[in-house]
Structure 1
Amino acid sequence: MPALRIEGYVIVSADGMLANASNVMPDDLKFEGDKQFFTAALDRADLILHGRNSFEDQPNSPRRKRLILTRKVRAIAPDPSNPNATLWNPAGASFEAVCEQAGIRAGTVAVIGGPFVFGMFMDRYDVFWLSQAPHVRLPDGEPCFPGVPARSPQQVLASHGLRAGQPQMLDPAADVTVTPWRRT
């Protein structure tokens, strides 16, 4: 199979959470600069990969080819509600098989969550784009990765062979940055 470039994207609170205790991304974690960065990245991606609770809800969302992880199918199935989506149960089919089924043989796969999905690809990311909102706290929220909050998101990424690059400012008023974590 030709090379797929796998990139991850998440914005987290100061305590490493991607959603509140109700498993909802609160408005406090939404910033225009991060939204623009995320939208542009997904517009460039050949395939979006996420769990059943993650979705970007953007104007181009219905046109994007996607894989949705779910246990509701045995292996691979078309999504009856979205002709651009394929449902995938990793217990029944490999990532390579589902990409082949979806018609993706090369290009960029954007992994957008949730925590279980991010964890599945920790040893395969070419780059993980970690956006941080340092003034937002989400007590009892949904951790971005398996192992958080016992370890920080940065410690989790580093433990999987990724190294931080130069952060980019996305929202100066809120100190929101994005840091690329690249495989060494």
Structure 2
Amino acid sequence: MLADDRNVMPDELKFEGDKAFFTAALDRADLIVHGRNSFEDQPSSPQRRRIFLTRTVAAIAPDPANPKSALWNPDGAPFETALKAAGVDAGTIAVIGGPGVFGMFMDRYDVFWLSVAPRVRLPGGEPCFPGVPARSPQQILAAHGLHAGEPQMLDPAEDVSVTPWRRDA
């Protein structure tokens, strides 16, 4: 789960090591893609180029709140059109969710970084991917042709780790 039953990421799911890993990854990205409930809440967030998924526009529109952001309705335009609207034609794209957004890109990821906090339980919470909890996140990633790499420990005291899931070249 990536949020509780109110669709909020609770404090017990926030770890400094995970936050540092996430921030560093976003700092390296050329574009951030996310849905309405996902955001980084960092001082540099407004400076990042992004595509915000929404059903409030027909296809593509500039974001009136951020000149570095494009609003995209996936039902109205292909992702490649959204990339052009965002001014990105190459580089690293960070998809930060939520579950519907993650699900849209399952067959396009080169790598998906899956963080796990095994001591945290969020019954009835927001799953990370469509199909969870019937299948585990790892089973879903594997079903989409991704393979687990070596996990990295982010918070040894809490047993929080991140594992790269990569697509074969």
TM-score between the two structures when normalised by the length of structure 2: 0.99
Specify the SS of the correspondent of 1:110.
Answer: strand
User: Following TM superposition, by how much is the alpha carbon of 1:148 offset from its aligned partner in structure 2, in angstroms?
Assistant: 0.2
User: Following TM superposition, by how much is the alpha carbon of 1:78 offset from its aligned partner in structure 2, in angstroms?
Assistant: 0.6
Higher relative contact order (CA 8 A, sep 6+): 1
Specify the SS of the correspondent of 1:179.
Answer: strand
User: Following TM superposition, by how much is the alpha carbon of 1:69 offset from its aligned partner in structure 2, in angstroms?
Assistant: 0.3
Specify the SS of the correspondent of 2:40.
Answer: coil
2:166 alignment counterpart = 182
Give structure 2 stretches of 5+ with no counterpart.
none
| Segments ≥4 residues shifted beyond 6 Å | none
2:92 alignment counterpart = 108
Q: 1:147 aligns with which of 115, 120, 131?
A: 131
Equivalent position amino acid for 1:126 in 2 = D
Give structure 1 stretches of 5+ with no counterpart.
1-16
Specify the SS of the correspondent of 1:155.
Answer: helix
Q: Does 1:63 align with 2:47?
A: yes
Q: Does 1:27 align with 2:35?
A: no
Q: Which has the higher strand share?
A: 1
Equivalent position amino acid for 2:3 in 1 = A
Q: Which has the higher helix share?
A: 2
Any idea what the Cα deviations from partners look like across 1:97-147, whole Å, max 9, x if unmatched?
A: 110111100000000000000000000000000000000000000000000
Aligned residues: 168
- After TM superposition, list the pairs within 5 Å mapping 1:24-173 onto structure 2: 24-173=8-157
Equivalent position amino acid for 1:51 in 2 = G
Residues of 2 paired with 1:179 and 1:68: CA distance? 26
User: Following TM superposition, by how much is the alpha carbon of 1:83 offset from its aligned partner in structure 2, in angstroms?
Assistant: 1.1
Equivalent position amino acid for 1:119 in 2 = G
Equivalent position amino acid for 2:70 in 1 = T
Specify the SS of the correspondent of 2:92.
Answer: strand
1:13 alignment counterpart = none
Any idea what the Cα deviations from partners look like across 1:20-47, whole Å, max 9, x if unmatched?
A: 0000000010000000000000000000
Residues of 1 paired with 2:12 and 2:79: CA distance? 34
